[in-house]
A and B are shown apart, each in its own frame.
Chain A
């Protein structure tokens, strides 16, 4: 019984702590103090590109295919096959690509950070850094955030392209109820350049949250290898919840009042 009362309070406290941690991390990056370790940030950026881009693009591509196929058959069934481009323009750009990007970021990058920083924490490596006069916050956390900010917009734009390309392949090349020109007519009609920006903002918000949450749980890990495992699991839960929240709130905020389809009601 006591647990039931204590748990929400524990959550609130933990949330407050994460917010404080995030503020510190953002300050390190915004004040450019992280630039002292720009080399390390570049190294992290390289690791991010090599280890995570392909799997993100691959996953987005598959989702783009599925979305295209379902969109094509659905619009065909309703007698409006020409409109299958809407699915690519909306579903891909607004919802699925950011979500899938968020999932992959959480699964690959987020947990990777927790495991890496967590094992450094329990083997005293972070303390060793600090004793050498180097802020672990700056050298380990801020550089990772900076690396994410440098690399991920590019990765994300490419994954949108991959998603669109996959939908196009499925709708036009594979199923073929609509011509290439017809697909693109509708496709472009149903989006504006700001949509791309909004989608990018959504994805970057997810990425930033995921990196911060990963750093928080890794940096503050305790309790040996088991503790690192627990921290990894917790970070994954929090990250998935955050990805969905950001996805939903972003859609409401950016497209809720869209005159073409006021989904905000």
Chain B
């Protein structure tokens, strides 16, 4: 499963001195990749690049992806995978490029170099028509909900159904109300987005991302702006919906199992919800693997981050 996850960019110099992995979990580890151009190896010393196998095919995979905005280098040789049929988390300090990652998966941003594969197909290489078709596999909850300001809540959630399915009004009504009730917004169906609180907008965006029952669901910080109880409930809801969708997919013998990817800062929900964890920092994965293994990781950076302590390698700068 971890074949080319460690593959190396040809033009990046290797520092053979560091080839010995500092983490012992993975023993036949391939040579350690060098730092990206213009960065000191020191900056990447916590990056063990260890990827613990998930035993599943990848729904989404980043291969040596580089992306810069002007002088800010956001993705710097990212190799990351979201295993199919799992709830994956992308964890990382604020501003490391988690939202940028998500936008690459759905083709809203294109990498400067490297590749992004969705079910094995390269997103940057797709022609427009195919890209729009491919995007129907995705449901995406934006960081701020991104509801359509000109429509009320009900129409917002019904929008994808009306555009992409031939379902009748009754059926749409039923699906939409079920989703709205799930996120606790059944009573607000006629309200406009600007009359909602940030957290409510987010939950409505969540409902909208779900209605088409996509293969891959991406949540960009579903829990920021929610109170702790709602955050916990939302975590449970995510798990429950994932279970439901997996059963459904198995019953219908779908080609791909539903894959969820949650971007978050909230360690508690990560612990509760995640099957698989990717820790992103400085444009690369520090370490990735199934949740149990990550939570038991010996890497001081991972330990600090997953326990949310102020003591450790990660500082304010």
Could you tell me which A residues sit within 8 Å of B by CB distance? 116, 119-120, 123-125, 127-128, 130-135
B108, A131: Cβ atoms closer than 8 Å: yes
In the complex with contacts A133-B164, A134-B163, A128-B146 CB distance below 8 A: yes
Q: How far is the CB of A112 from chain B (nearest CB, A)?
A: 12
Residues from chain B with a CB closer than 8 A to the CB of A130 are 106, 108, 132, 135
- B136-165, CB < 8 A from A: 136, 138, 140, 142-144, 146-150, 159-160, 163-164
List 8 additional A-B contacts (Cβ < 8 Å) besides A120-B148, A131-B106, A135-B128: A116-B150, A120-B149, A127-B103, A128-B146, A131-B108, A132-B159, A132-B163, A133-B136
Interface residue? B133 (CB, 8 A): yes
Chain B: residues with Cβ within 8 Å of the partner, total of 22
Query: What is the total of A-B residue contacts with beta carbons within 8 Å?
Result: 49
Which residue of A is nearest B137, CB measured?
A133
In the complex with contacts A131-B108, A134-B163, A125-B148 CB distance below 8 A: yes
Instruction: Give the complex CA separation of A128 and B147 in angstroms.
Output: 8
Interface of A is mostly: helix
**Cβ-neighbour of A132 out of B103, B128, B164 (below 8 A):** B164
Instruction: Give the complex CA separation of A123 and B146 in angstroms.
Output: 6
Give the one of B133, B146, B149 with max A CB within 10 A.
B146
Give the one of A119, A127, A131, A133 with max B CB within 10 A.
A131
Residue pairs across A and B with Cβ atoms less than 8 A apart, 15 shown, are: A124-B142, A125-B147, A125-B148, A127-B103, A127-B142, A128-B142, A128-B148, A130-B106, A130-B132, A131-B108, A131-B135, A132-B164, A133-B135, A133-B164, A135-B128
B140, A128: Cβ atoms closer than 8 Å: yes
Residues from chain A with a CB closer than 8 A to the CB of B149 are 119-120, 123, 125
A131, B140: Cβ atoms closer than 8 Å: yes
Q: How far is the CB of B213 from chain A (nearest CB, A)?
A: 13
A123, B144: Cβ atoms closer than 8 Å: yes
Instruction: Give the complex CA separation of A116 and B149 in angstroms.
Output: 10
Residues from chain A with a CB closer than 8 A to the CB of B138 are 131
Instruction: Give the complex CA separation of A131 and B138 in angstroms.
Output: 7
Residues from chain B with a CB closer than 8 A to the CB of A133 are 132-133, 135-136, 163-164
Give the one of A116, A127, A128 with max B CB within 10 A.
A128
Residues from chain A with a CB closer than 8 A to the CB of B135 are 130-133
Instruction: Give the complex CA separation of A18 and B150 in angstroms.
Output: 27
Instruction: Give the complex CA separation of A133 and B132 in angstroms.
Output: 4
Instruction: Give the complex CA separation of A5 and B138 in angstroms.
Output: 46
Q: What 5 A-B pairs have minimum CB-CB distances, sorted nearest first?
A: A124-B146, A128-B146, A133-B136, A133-B135, A133-B132
Instruction: Give the complex CA separation of A127 and B141 in angstroms.
Output: 11
